[in-house]
Amino acid sequence: MSSANYVFTPPATPSLPVSGNSARFPVNRIFCVGRNYHAHAVEMGRPVDKATMKPFYFTKSPSALVESGATVPYPTGTGNYHYEMELVVAIGAPGFRVSEADAPRLIYGYAAGLDMTRRDLQLVARDQGRPWDLGKDFEKSAVCTPILPIGDLGVLKSGAINLQVNGETRQTADLSQLIWNIPELLADLSQFYHLEPGDIIYTGTPEGVGPVKSGDRISGHIDRVGDVALVIGQAE
Ligand code: MN
């Protein structure tokens, strides 16, 4: 242990379980990709033209992490709390200005995640040209399964991704529909940041986002990656 002396006990390092490993994955930063499936971009009123546009990102605080299977309180300050089902890429090696060809070596593994969103606050911020933090970076808003090491999976290029609320399907798509695929995202993001082991990247949600209320049960699935679950509790 460090001999550093703090004025209060520092918070624990945010981390996730790793499938098949008793050691945990310490989470450094949480990056999220905006508008990375065409049909979702359209439903948000902001279609994407890959020929003329670049991906964009926002971040969540690592302290916003919550493990799959949790019950979270309906968050404060919103009347339109949304799910977004997403593939999460976990980084296991440093990378800065990597090429698409070199990008796969950065991947530690994958997870299934929920980018929970206070949609009303996000849209007010978006439409007023303000930061998205109140809508996106709030407590318990980054839900994630254990990390599945990449093993023989390689770079995921396809696979079903879907989400149910109370057993009713709300999102259904395929990873092949990502506008910017995993190597493209890692190459682009690493132009702006020194990617580090422990960084995780939520790669964007397909169409069909919508609200949940107290008592709802969310379950999401990504082929070969895992199943994420969340229960919405009472408001605090
Ligand atoms: Mn998202």
- CATH number for the domain harbouring residue 75: 3.90.850.10
Share the mean pLDDT of the chain.
97
Ligand 1 centre distance from Cα of residue 93 (Å): 24
pLDDT at 103: 98
| Residue 78 within a domain | yes
Better-scored residue on pLDDT, 4 or 204: 204
Ligand 1 centre distance from Cα of residue 72 (Å): 18
Q: How many domains does the chain have?
A: 1
pLDDT at 1: 54
| Residue 8 within a domain | no
Contacts of residue 30, defined as CB under 8 A and 6 or more positions apart, other chains included, come to: 59, 60, 61, 62, 64, 65, 142, 199, 200, 202
The string of pLDDT tens digits covering residues 34-90 is 999 999 999 999 999 999 999 999 999 999 999 999 999 999 999 999 999 999 999
Ligand 1 centre distance from Cα of residue 84 (Å): 6
pLDDT at 3: 74
Section 193-198 average pLDDT: 98
Ligand 1 centre distance from Cα of residue 40 (Å): 10
Q: How confident is the model at residue 128 (pLDDT cuts 50, 70, 90)?
A: very high
Look up the domain containing 56 and give its range: 15-233
Residue 92 has pLDDT above 90, yes or no: yes
| Residue 9 within a domain | no
| Residue 10 within a domain | no
| Residue 215 within a domain | yes
Report percent pLDDT > 90 for the chain. 98
Ligand 1 centre distance from Cα of residue 42 (Å): 14
Ligand 1 centre distance from Cα of residue 4 (Å): 37
Ligand 1 centre distance from Cα of residue 137 (Å): 11
| Residue 2 within a domain | no
| Residue 5 within a domain | no
Q: What is the 3-state secondary structure (H, E, C) of the chain?
A: CCCCCCCCCCCCCCEEEECCEEEEEECCCEEEEECCEHHHHHHCCCCCCCCCCCCEEEEECHHHEEECCCEEECCCCCCCEEECEEEEEEECCCECCCCCCCHHHHEEEEEEEEECEEHHHHHHHHHCCCCCHHHHCCCCCEEECCEEECCCCCCCCCCEEEEEECCEEEEEEEHHHECCCHHHHHHHHCCCCCECCCCEEECCCCCCCEECCCCCEEEEEECCCEEEEEEEECCC
pTM for this prediction: 0.97
pLDDT at 90: 99
pLDDT at 2: 59
Contacts of residue 127, defined as CB under 8 A and 6 or more positions apart, other chains included, come to: none
The string of pLDDT tens digits covering residues 15-34 is 999 999 999 999 999 999 99
Ligand 1 centre distance from Cα of residue 170 (Å): 15
Section 158-163 average pLDDT: 98
| Residue 6 within a domain | no
